[in-house]
Structure 1
Amino acid sequence: MHLTDLPTLLRSLAPVLRDGEWVFCWLDHDAAQAHAEHALASMREDDGMSLVLPLAHARAHGLPDTPAFRCITLTVHSSLEAVGLTAAVSGALAARGIAANVIAGARHDHVFVPEMRADEALAVLQALSRGA
């Protein structure tokens, strides 16, 4: 079941810091095809592709490798029609000066935060969940 009630979503966040470091790379459509199978996520844009790639893969192929991000998955089964979850999560992180790049999956949201602040970001989201 996919939740839509914001207080229930926040109490149920259950954020998990995933292993690995990730970079956001923009490539033209042709070049992106060579790396697409390694991407955790992608977005087709009018002028090319944005790929979220493992840092090691980007470095090995001479692709941009900074800034590095870690991924925090919100393991709650959130609905794509839920209102306010992204705002609450990004707002809590923004209050601490932590950048948040959120990608919604069909079942979970994934928050990419600067690698150097990943543990702090995880603690912020855990506190948000406890306080809901």
Structure 2
Amino acid sequence: MAVRDTAAMIAGMAPVADGVTWHFCTTADAELAARARPTALASFAEAEGMSLVLSEKEAVALGFDTDLPMARITLTVQSALDGVGLTAAVATALATALAGEGIPCNMVAGYHHDHVFVPVAQAERALEVLRRLACGEMDG
């Protein structure tokens, strides 16, 4: 059952990294977008072109820029689409993470779960911050 209560979503988020290196890619080339979409984790049509989240293997094979490798952390709580506060709590916790250094994040919401993409080099630290948030050790 989908969780709507903010505190319950945060407490139950149980973040898990998938261990895959992902890249946010974009192209205005309709043919390239059509080739990339079947292997994309996610895609979104924007005015400037197709945005795609591709594994490093696929991004390299298709010739996309791979300068910013990202890790995906899934918040395994089944958050309701109309639930309020989870994204804000996660983004705030990461932005002010441990000594205020901050961890950039890109949130992608699926039907069942929210996914947090952070730079690969900061993935372990992001998991630590999110686990502390879920345990109530940080303000959310």
The question of a shared fold, defined as TM-score above 0.5 by the shorter chain, is answered with yes
Q: How does 1:12-51 map to 2 (within 5 A)?
A: 12-28=12-28, 29-51=30-52
Alignment of 1:72-83 (within 5 A): 72-83=73-84
CA distance in structure 1 between the aligned counterparts of 2:67 and 2:58, rounded to whole angstroms: 12
Deviations, residues 62-86 of structure 1 (Å, cap 9, x unaligned): 2111200000000000011111110
Structure 2 distance, partners of 1:57, 1:118, is 21
RMSD of aligned residue pairs (Cα, Å):
1.0
CA distance in 2, matches of 1:100, 1:118: 10
Q: What letter matches 2:68 in structure 1?
A: P
User: Which blocks of at least 5 consecutive residues in structure 1 are unaligned?
Assistant: none
Percent identity (aligned) = 45
In structure 2, C-alpha distance between the alignment counterparts of 1:60 and 1:31, rounded to whole Å: 12
Aligned residues: 132
Aligned pairs (5 A) from 1:94-109: 94-96=95-97, 97-109=102-114
Give, as a single letter, the amino acid of the residue that structure 1 aligns with 2:12: S
Shift in Å, 1:61: 2.3
CA distance in 1, matches of 2:14, 2:64: 33
The code of the aligned residue for 1:91 comes to: T
Q: Take 1:57 and 1:6, find their aligned partners in 2: how far apart are those partners?
A: 36
User: Structure 2 length as normaliser, TM-score?
Assistant: 0.91
Q: Which residue of 2 aligns with 1:122?
A: 127
- 1:31 Cα deviation after fit: 1.8
CA distance in structure 2 between the aligned counterparts of 1:13 and 1:26, rounded to whole angstroms: 30
- How far apart, CA to CA, are the structure 1 residues paired with 2:37 and 2:13? 29
For 2:62 and 2:45, the matched residues in 1 are separated by 20
- The code of the aligned residue for 2:135 comes to R
Structure 2 residue aligned with 1:86: 87
TM-score, length basis structure 1: 0.96
CA distance in 1, matches of 2:20, 2:48: 28
Rounded to whole Å, the distance in 2 between the matches of 1:47 and 1:120 is 33
